[in-house]
């Protein structure tokens, strides 16, 4: 079963989907899926498109409640992307899903994995984090500040009523997310690092750097011949389901 609702986050109004199992008893575990940041032309409307279907599948297979919120500027959610706004969005989603006795974990893709990881270290309600195709070195991932700014402007994550940060401020705000530092302090909470061996956007060496930062206190899964868009790869789904099953 997939419920659809809207959630306010500051001046943004977010799309939220919450899946609960129909084929098995619902557990007290909650997984929140966090999409990445689209940079290709026009992709802002589609970046989270597959996640509701994935949430429903994961919930039916695991018994977990699985939620996916479309963050500011993406899909039909209003607002404009910024790291600070996305942190507010994620906090609002966590608050919405938090209930007595529930245990919450996060699974993020691309920049969504960096957001999940850096947010979790200051959020005691988060029991575990899974990252997929997540950059460990955001300065390299962003690249040239002006080119990155231009790409986001055309990707569709900018609301005409909410201006995008200027190029340098945006670059600085993203690079202020210290992914490696977060990886070093997240354990002993559970931590899964998944990556495609043939990822052309974020090299697989970034996954190994995250694993090294965690001092080996994480699960590392390199999916052979997989590219960047892991959310549609059945081996990623199996990896994530196995991680959920081991942490009942």
- Residue 61, pLDDT > 70, answer yes
* Least reliable range by pLDDT among 22-36, 146-160, 196-210: 22-36
pLDDT at 49: 67
Confidence band, pLDDT 50/70/90 cuts, at residue 3: very high
pLDDT at 46: 65
List pLDDT tens digits, range 77-102.
999 999 999 999 999 999 999 999 89
% residues pLDDT > 90 (the chain): 80
What is the residue-wise DSSP string for the chain? -EEEEEEEETTEEEEEEEE--SSS---SEEEEEE-----STTGGGTTTTTHHHHHHHHHHHH--EEEEEEPTTSTT--S---HHHHHHHHHHHHHHH--TT-EEEEEEETHHHHHHHHHHTT-TTEEEEEEES--S-HHHHH-SHHHHHHHHHHHT---TTSPPPPHHHHHHHHHTS-HHHHHHHSTTSEEEEEEETT-SSS-HHHHHHHHHHTTT-SEEEEETT--S-GGG-HHHHHHHHHHHHTT-
Confidence band, pLDDT 50/70/90 cuts, at residue 166: very high
Listed residue (19, 180, 31, 188) closest to 106, CA to CA? 31
- Range 2-245 classified under CATH 3.50.50.60: no
Q: Which residues contact 95 (CB under 8 A, 6 or more apart)?
A: none
List pLDDT tens digits, range 113-145.
999 999 999 999 999 999 999 999 999 999 999
Listed residue (248, 231, 162) closest to 195, CA to CA? 231
Q: Are 103 and 127 in contact (CB under 8 A)?
A: yes
pLDDT at 42: 56
Taking the model in full, what pTM does it have? 0.95
Confidence band, pLDDT 50/70/90 cuts, at residue 13: very high
Residue in the structure block whose two tokens are 């997540």: 134
Listed residue (209, 221, 220, 222) closest to 183, CA to CA? 209
Q: Are 175 and 201 in contact (CB under 8 A)?
A: no
pLDDT at 25: 57
pLDDT at 51: 87
Where do the domains of the chain lie? 2-245
Listed residue (92, 142, 120, 239) closest to 189, CA to CA? 120
What CA–CA distance (Å, rounded) separates 175 from 177?
Answer: 5
């Amino acid at each position: 079963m997939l419920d659809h609702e809207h959630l306010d986050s500051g001046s943004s109004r977010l799309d939220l989907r919450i899946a609960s199992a129909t084929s098995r008893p619902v557990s007290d575990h909650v997984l929140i899926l966090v999409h990445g940041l689209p940079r290709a032309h026009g992709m802002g409307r589609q970046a989270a498109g597959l996640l509701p279907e994935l949430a429903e599948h994961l919930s039916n297979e695991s018994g977990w409640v699985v939620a996916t919120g479309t963050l500011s500027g993406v899909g039909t959610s209003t607002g404009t992307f910024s790291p600070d706004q996305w942190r507010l969005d994620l906090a609002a989603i966590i608050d919405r899903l938090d209930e007595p006795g529930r245990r919450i974990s996060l699974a993020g893709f691309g920049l969504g994995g960096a957001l999940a990881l850096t947010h979790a270290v200051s959020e005691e309600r988060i029991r575990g984090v899974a990252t997929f195709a997540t950059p460990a070195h955001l300065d390299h991932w962003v690249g040239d500040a002006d080119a990155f700014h231009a790409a986001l402007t055309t990707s569709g994550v900018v609301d005409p009523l909410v201006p995008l940060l200027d190029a340098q401020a945006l670059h600085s705000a993203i690079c202020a997310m210290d992914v490696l530092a977060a990886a070093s302090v997240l354990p002993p909470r559970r931590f899964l690092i998944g990556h495609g061996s043939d990822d052309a956007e974020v090299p697989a060496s970034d996954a190994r750097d995250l694993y090294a930062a965690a001092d080996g206190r994480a699960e590392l899964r390199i999916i052979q011949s997989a590219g960047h868009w892991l959310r549609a790869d059945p081996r990623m789904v199996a990896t994530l389901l196995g991680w959920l099953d081991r942490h009942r």
